[in-house]
Amino acid sequence: MTETNAILWLLATPMLSAPLIYLIGRIIIRLRDSAAENNRPGPGRGWLRVPGWLALASLLASFVPLFIAAQPVMRYGVARSFVGGVPLAMDGISLVLAATSLLLGSLVVLFSMPYMAGEAGEEKYYALLPAVISTIIGLGCANDFFNMWVWFEAMAVSSYLLVAFYTNERGALEAGVKYLVQSAIGSVMVLLGISLVFAQTHTLRLDAIAAWAGQPNMITLAAGVLFVIGFGVKTALVPLHTWLPDAHSQAPSGVSAMLSGIVIEAGLIAMLRALGNLPGGLPIWGQILLGFGALNMLVGNMMALRQKQIKRLLAYSSLSHIGYMLLGFGAAAIFHLQNPAAGGFFHLFNHALMKGLAFLSAGVLLYALHIASGDHVPLTVDDLNGASKRYPLAAFGLSVAVLALGGLPPLAGFMSKWQIFVGSVETRDLTMILLVVFAALNSVLSLGYYAPLVNRMYRKAPSAAVQAGKPVSKLMAAPIVMLLVGVIILGVWPGLIESITQTAGKNLAAMFSIPVAHLLPMIGR
Amino acid sequence: MLPILVMLVIGLPWLGALLVWWAGDQRSRQQHALAVGFSVVTALAALALIPFSQTVQTIVIPSSGVSGNGYGTFTFSPDGLGIFLAVVATVIGSLAVIFSVDYMKGEAQLGRYYSMVLFFIGAMAGLVLTSNLLLIFVFWEITALCSYALISFYNDDPKAVAGGMKALIMTQLGGVGLLLGAALSYGYLHTVDLNEFLAHADQLPADVLSVMAFGFLIAAAAKSAQFPFQTWLPDAMEAPTPVSALIHAATMVNAGVYLLARFFPAFADVPYWRDAVMLVGMLSALLSAIMALVATDLKRVLAYSTVSQLGYMVYAVGAGGVFASQFHLLSHAVFKALLFLSAGAIIHSVGTRDMRGMGGLGKEMPAVRVVFLIGAAALAGLPILNGFWSKELVLEAGLEGGPLWMWVVMLIGAGLTALYTMRCVWMVFYAPPANPLRHIHDAGPAMRSALFPLAIGTLTTWLLAGPFSEFLKGIGVEEETTLEIVMIVLREPATWLAVGVVILGLLAWWQRKYLQILTEPMQDLGVMAERSFGFEAINRTIVQTIQGWAEDLRGLQTGLLSWNVLAIIVSLVMALLIVALGAV
Amino acid sequence: MDISSLLLAVICLLGIGIYAVLVARNLIKVIVGLQVLVKGAMLALIAAGQIAGQPEVGESLALTVIVADTIVAVVGLALAVQVRRRFGTLDIKALSTLRR
C-alpha cells in the first residue's frame, strides 16, 4: 500500500465489508433458524456476535490506511488519489473527519455488541455502521460537487435505516419518517444549487469553481443559499433542526452517538466545502454561518433546559455545540484566520468524544434500567436518581461528559471552546467579540441543565428504575473508559492533536480566501 | 528544587484525590488517613516554598508543538504573593481536612468529599502560582467545580443542590469577564502570559484595556461574592462546615482579591476603575454587615461577615493599599477559618444552625467558647489580635487613597461588625438556653487539633507583618519591620477613632435595651436586609424568566411534519432575501 | 427543447412537489411529492448541462440521481409499510407523538 492508494483502501475497507458482514450475518441466522426447525444443534450464541466482531475488525483495519494517508496530508497539506478516474483529495479537513468517524465508530461498535444483542435485524446494524463511516470519509475526500452529493446521499440513506432501527417502536418510525422527508428536501436543494453552479461556471470540480474568473452574481449567491439550507438540514441549523431531537433520541444509543458525534458534523463539512469553493470569496457566507451559529447556540440551550428525557436533552445540546463550531468556522471564513478554524475542528473532535461518552453512558443506564427488561421507554431525568451506587462507571462517565460539554476544565470541551473564543477575539472585530461573549454566556447557561444531572446521579436515594435495574456487561464499560481517558487527556494536554487541527484550520482559511489568481488583476499584473 | 516543589504543591493533592477515590467508600478509615496525609504533606511543601519567594524563576511545561495557537506555554512563576496564598490554602486546607475526620465520621460517599476537597486544594495552589492566563482560568473554574460539588454534597437535599447550582452559575457568569480579558490579551498582544501582559499593558488601546479591567472586576466580584453577586455565598452554607471554612472563607473567595491585587499595576490608571473597585468593596462591606445583624442562622452570619470583610480587602486594593489588603486576607483567613470550624463543632453537637436554638453553650463547650471568642474578637477588631492590626491598616490605606466619605462608611461598617459579632457570641454562648435539657458534648480530638493552631494563629500572625512586607516586595510593597508597622498603626489618630467605634458597637449590644428608641425606626431596614435588599428577588426573577422563555420556546417543536417542512421552505426564502438585499 | 421551457417545467415540478409535501395528509402522498421534487431537480441538472454546453455530464448526473433517489423511495416506502402496521394509519397527523 503506497501513499497514493491508501485513500482507496481507507474507503474500500469499511465500504466493502458492509455487504460482507450483512451476508455472513444472514447466513448465520439462516443456519440457526433451520437448525431450530429441525431440532438440531446449530450455531451457538457466540456465532451471533460474529457480525459485530467483523465490523470492529474492519474499522480497526481502516486505521492503517488512515495513518498512511495522513503522512502526505501532514507534510504537504493534501494527498491526492485517483479511483477509477474520479479524483479524490484528502486534506486536513478530511483527515479530521475520517479520524473522528473511525475512532467513534469503533467505540460504538464495541459498545453495541452487548447493547444490541438479541435485537431483530442485528446483522443489518453491523453492516450499516461501517457503511455510514465509509460514506462520511468519502464525503470528506470528495473533490467535486457531484461526488460529494453521492457520498452525502449514501450517508443519508444509511442513517435513515439506522435511525428507524427499532421498527417495532412507533417513536422510532415517526422519527425515521420525519428525518427522511426533511433530509430528502435538503438533498433536493443541494441538487438545485449544484445545477446553478454548473450552469454558471461550466464545471463541477471544486478547485476549478473556486478559481472561476467570473464575478459572483445572483446565480452563485442563490446557489450558496441553497447549499446553506440544503446541507443545513443535515447539519441541524436552527430552524431546520426539527428532525434532530426525535431522531437522536429514538435511535439506538450507539447510533445516537454517531449521529450527534459525526453525521451532523459531516453535513457541516460538506456545507463548508461547498461555500468555501464558491467563486469570489465573499464574506457573506461566513456571516451567514455566524448568524446560524448564534441561533443554534441559543435555541439549543434553551430547548435543552426544560427537557425531562435524557437523550432528547443531549440531542438539543448537540445543536448548541454545532453553534460553537459555526462560530469558529465563521470567524475563520470572514477573517481568514487559522486559529478559530483549528478550534472549530478541535471542538468537532472533542464533541464527538464527549457526546459519544454521554450517549454511551446514558445508553448503559438505558440498557440496564429499561432495555434489558424489554422496555423501550425513554430514559428520564428522574430515572437517574441515585444511579451512581449501582452503576458507578456509567454515572461517572455521564458526569464527566456533561461537565465537559458544559465547558468546565480540566476537560476537553473547555480547551476547544477556549481556542474558538480566543481565536475569534484575535479578529479584533467588535461583532466577533460580542459573539464570543454571547457564546460564553450560553456555555454558562448550558451548565444549568448539565449540572443537575450530576447532582441527581450522586443522590443517596435511588429511583425505582435504578433499584430494579439489571447488571451491565464489561464490553460496554471498555469504550466508556477509553472515552473518559480521551476527554480528560485532551483537557489537560490540548496540544496532543494540534498538528491535525491546525492543518485543517489552515485548509479552511485558505478555502475561504480569494484565490491568488483573482488578486493578480488587482495588482495590475 | 523549585519546580519539584511547585509540582508537589499542585500535584500531590490531586494524586491524593485519585487515591482516596480509588480506596473506595468501604475503607473509610483509609480514606481519612490518606486525605489527612496528603493534605499535610502538601502544606509542608508549600511552606518549603517560602524561602524561594524572591527568586524569579519560571517553570515551563510545553502545552503543544505549535506556537501561537491561543494556549500559550503552561508557565508557573511563584513569587511572594503567590507563595503566600498557596501557603494559606494548603495549611488551612490541611486543618480543614483534619477537622473533617471528626465532622464527617460515618458519612456516606466520603470518597467524593475528600477527593473534591483535595482536588480543590491543588487547584487553588495552582491558581496563585501560575502565570499563564489560560491556566489561571482553568484553575479558577476547577475551584468553582469543586465548590459546586461540595456545596451540593448532600444531593438529596434540594436546598443544597439549589445552593450549589446558584454558586456555580454566578461564579461562572463572572468567569466570562476573566475569559474575555484573557482573550483580549491574546487578541491584541498575542500573549496569555501574565508577566508579559503586565509589561506591555500600556500598548493596548484604551477601550480594550478598560474592557479587560472591568471584566476582571466582574470576575473578581462574582468569585468573592461582592456586590452585586453576594447572594450565592450565604446559600453556599449548605456545604459541610469544613468546606465552608476552607473554600468559602479562607481560600476560594480570596481568589477575587488575588486577581485584583495581581492585575492592579495594569489597571490602576484605567478611568473610574479604582473608584469602581472601592465602591464595590464599600457596598459589600456595608450591606452584608447589616444583613449579618438580622440573620439567625449561625453560618449565614459568618457568611455575611465574610462578604463584609472581603469588601474591606477589595476596598483596600482599590485605594492602592495592596499590602493592607493582603495582610487583612491573612488575618481573615485564619480567624474566619477558626470561627467556621468552631461553628462546625457547635452545629455538630447541637444539631441545628439556628442561633435561637442555642444559648448558654459556654458551660458545655468551654474549649470551643474560648477559641470562638478569640476569633470573634479578631473579627470585631479588638486590639492585640491580628484582625485589629490588619483592619486598621486597611482603613488607613482607604483614608490615604480614597475619598473621605467612603472611609466614614467603612468606619461605620467596623462598628457594625463589632455589633453583629457581639450579638452572635451572646446568642450562642450567653443567652438563656433554648432547651435546657439537651445533651451537648464538646469538640472531639480531631476538631480540637484543628482549632488550636488557628487560635494561636489569630493571636500571633500580626507579628509576621514585617517579614510579610518583605515577602511581597516583588509586587511593589514597601518593606518595613513589624515594629515600624505597629508604630504606624498606633500613632495614627484614625486608629483610635476606629477603636472607639468598635467599642461603641460592642456597647450598643450590651446596652441594647436602652437603645430601643433607635432600633424601632430601623425595623424596615431589618426586613429589607433579611430579603437581602432585593437581590434574591432579582435572582429569582432572572431564573424564572429564562425558564419561562425556554418553556415557551418548546412550542416550536410541534412534531408536525408539515410545519417542519414549512420551516425549511421559509428559511430558504428568508435567506435568499437577506443575501439578495445584502448584495444590492 | 429550449432552455426556457425546461426551466418552466423545473419550476412547475418543484412547485407541485413542495405543495404535495406541505399539504398532503397521507404519508404515501408525501413520499410521492418528494419524488416529484427530485424529478424537478433532475430536470434542473439536465438544463444546467445544456446551458453549460456539456449535456452528457448533465444527463449522467441525472441518471445517478435516479439511482440514489430510487433507494430513498424504497426506504421511505418500507418505513410507510411499517408505519401502517404499527400506527394503523398513514395519516401524518398521527405521526406527531414526539413533540416539545
Who has greater pLDDT, A525 or A265? A265
How many whole angstroms separate alpha carbon A212 and alpha carbon B404? Answer: 71
Q: What is the ipTM of this complex?
A: 0.96
Mean pLDDT of B364-385: 88
Q: If residue A80 lies in a helix (H) or strand (E), which one and from where to where?
A: strand A78-83
In Å, how far from its chain's centre is CA A42?
A: 39
Pick from A373-382, A499-508, B442-451: least confident: B442-451
**DSSP-derived 3-state class of residue B60:** strand
A141-167 tens-digit pLDDT: 998 899 999 999 999 999 999 999 999
Q: Which residue has the cell 474558538?
A: A420
Strands A86-91 and A78-83: antiparallel
Mean pLDDT of B548-568: 92
C64 contacts in chain A (CB < 8 Å): 146, 150
Pick from A317-326, A498-507, B518-527: least confident: B518-527
Mean pLDDT of B351-373: 86
Residues 291-320 on A with a CB inside 8 Å of B are: 299, 302-303, 305-306
Cβ separation of B560 and C21 shorter than 8 Å? no
How many whole angstroms separate alpha carbon B358 and alpha carbon C72? Answer: 75
How many whole angstroms separate alpha carbon B256 and alpha carbon B149? Answer: 20
Strand partners of residue B251: none
Cis peptide upstream of residue B467 (ω within 30 degrees of 0): no
Cβ separation of C92 and B566 shorter than 8 Å? no
Amino acid of residue B409: V
Q: Where residue B63 falls among pLDDT bands split at 50, 70, 90?
A: low
**DSSP-derived 3-state class of residue B354:** strand
Q: Is residue A135 part of a domain?
A: no
Q: Is residue A192 part of a domain?
A: no
B63 contacts in chain A (CB < 8 Å): 493-495
Q: Which residues of chain B have a Cβ shorter than 8 Å from any chain C Cβ?
A: 554-555, 557-562, 565-566, 569
Name the DSSP letter for residue B550.
H
> Within an 8 Å CB–CB cutoff, is residue A436 touching chain B?
yes
Cβ separation of A448 and B165 shorter than 8 Å? yes
Three cell numbers, residue B427: 446568642
Cβ separation of C99 and B565 shorter than 8 Å? no
For B344, residues 6+ apart whose C-beta sits below 8 A from its C-beta are: B99, B103, B240, B241, B242, B244, B245, B447
How many whole angstroms separate alpha carbon A328 and alpha carbon A330? Answer: 5
B191-222 tens-digit pLDDT: 888 888 999 988 889 899 999 999 999 999 99
What is the chain B residue with the closest CA to A492?
A: B63
Buried b or exposed e, range B522-555, using 16+ CB within 10 angstroms? eeeeeeebeebbebeeebeeeeeeeeeebeebbe
Q: Kindly report the CA angle at B189 between B187 and B195, in degrees rounded to 5?
A: 125
Cβ separation of C100 and B555 shorter than 8 Å? yes
Whether the Cβ atoms of residue A248 and residue A193 lie closer than 8 Å to each other: no
A166 contacts in chain C (CB < 8 Å): none
Cβ separation of B187 and A428 shorter than 8 Å? yes
Q: Distance, in angstroms, between C30 CA and closest chain B CA?
A: 10
Q: Is residue A480 part of a domain?
A: yes
pLDDT reported for residue B66: 61
pLDDT reported for residue A518: 52
* pLDDT for A44 beyond 90: no
What is the chain A residue with the closest CA to B140?
A: A409
Ramachandran category for residue B484: left, alpha or beta (phi over 0 → left; psi -120 to 50 → alpha) = alpha
A311-330 tens-digit pLDDT: 999 999 999 999 999 999 99
HSE of B209 in the Cβ direction (CA atoms, 13 Å)?
A: 21
C98 contacts in chain B (CB < 8 Å): 559
For A223, residues 6+ apart whose C-beta sits below 8 A from its C-beta are: A193, A194, A196, A197, A200, A278
What is the chain C residue with the closest CA to A171?
A: C98
Q: Is residue A178 part of a domain?
A: no
CB pairs under 8 A between A and C: 111
In Å, how far from its chain's centre is CA A289?
A: 18
B562 contacts in chain C (CB < 8 Å): 22-23, 92
* pLDDT for B54 beyond 50: yes
With a pLDDT cut of 90, the percent of chain A lying above it is: 72
DSSP helix, strand, coil percent of chain B (3-state; round to 5): 80, 0, 20
Mean pLDDT of B149-178: 94
How many whole angstroms separate alpha carbon A453 and alpha carbon A403? Answer: 10
Q: Where residue A524 falls among pLDDT bands split at 50, 70, 90?
A: very low
* pLDDT for B337 beyond 50: yes
For A388-413, the three-class secondary structure string (H helix, E strand, C coil) is HHHCHHHHHHHHHHHHHHCCCCCCHH
Q: If residue C21 lies in a helix (H) or strand (E), which one and from where to where?
A: helix C3-23
Q: Is A464 exposed, middle or buried (0-12, 13-18, 19+ CB in 10 A)?
A: exposed
Q: Where residue A515 falls among pLDDT bands split at 50, 70, 90?
A: low
pLDDT reported for residue A517: 53
Cβ separation of B141 and A458 shorter than 8 Å? no
Q: Is residue A213 part of a domain?
A: no
A425-437 tens-digit pLDDT: 999 999 999 999 9
> Within an 8 Å CB–CB cutoff, is residue B523 touching chain A?
no
Q: Is B199 exposed, middle or buried (0-12, 13-18, 19+ CB in 10 A)?
A: middle
Q: Distance, in angstroms, between B177 CA and closest chain A CA?
A: 9
Q: Is residue A507 part of a domain?
A: yes
B140-152 tens-digit pLDDT: 999 999 999 999 9
> Within an 8 Å CB–CB cutoff, is residue C85 touching chain B?
no
Q: Which domain holds residue A414?
A: 282-514
Mean pLDDT of B62-83: 78
pLDDT reported for residue A1: 65
Name the DSSP letter for residue B61.
E
A90-135 tens-digit pLDDT: 999 999 999 999 999 999 999 999 999 888 888 899 999 999 999 9
Smallest Cβ–Cβ distance between C92 and the set B555, B561, B566 belongs to: B561
Mean pLDDT of B355-364: 83
With a pLDDT cut of 70, the percent of chain A lying above it is: 97
pLDDT reported for residue A525: 38
Q: Which residue has the cell 511547585?
A: B6
Mean pLDDT of A280-296: 92
Cβ separation of B71 and A419 shorter than 8 Å? yes
For A29, residues 6+ apart whose C-beta sits below 8 A from its C-beta are: A48, A123
Ramachandran category for residue A118: left, alpha or beta (phi over 0 → left; psi -120 to 50 → alpha) = left
Q: Is residue A320 part of a domain?
A: yes
Q: Distance, in angstroms, between A487 CA and closest chain C CA?
A: 31
B560 contacts in chain C (CB < 8 Å): 92-93, 96
Q: How many domains does chain A have?
A: 1
For A277, residues 6+ apart whose C-beta sits below 8 A from its C-beta are: A206, A207, A209, A210, A511
**DSSP-derived 3-state class of residue C34:** helix
How many whole angstroms separate alpha carbon A177 and alpha carbon A168? Answer: 14
Q: Is residue A17 part of a domain?
A: no
Whether the Cβ atoms of residue B256 and residue B221 lie closer than 8 Å to each other: yes
What is the chain B residue with the closest CA to A186?
A: B568
pLDDT reported for residue A250: 94
Q: Distance, in angstroms, between B33 CA and closest chain C CA?
A: 51
Whether the Cβ atoms of residue B311 and residue B394 lie closer than 8 Å to each other: no
> Within an 8 Å CB–CB cutoff, is residue C95 touching chain B?
yes
Smallest Cβ–Cβ distance between A284 and the set B62, B567, B582 belongs to: B582
In Å, how far from its chain's centre is CA A179?
A: 16
Q: Kindly report the CA angle at A229 between A228 and A234, in degrees rounded to 5?
A: 95
Q: Which residue has the cell 469570489?
A: A280
B228-267 tens-digit pLDDT: 999 999 999 999 999 999 988 788 888 999 999 999 999 9
Cβ separation of C87 and A173 shorter than 8 Å? yes
Mean pLDDT of chain A: 91
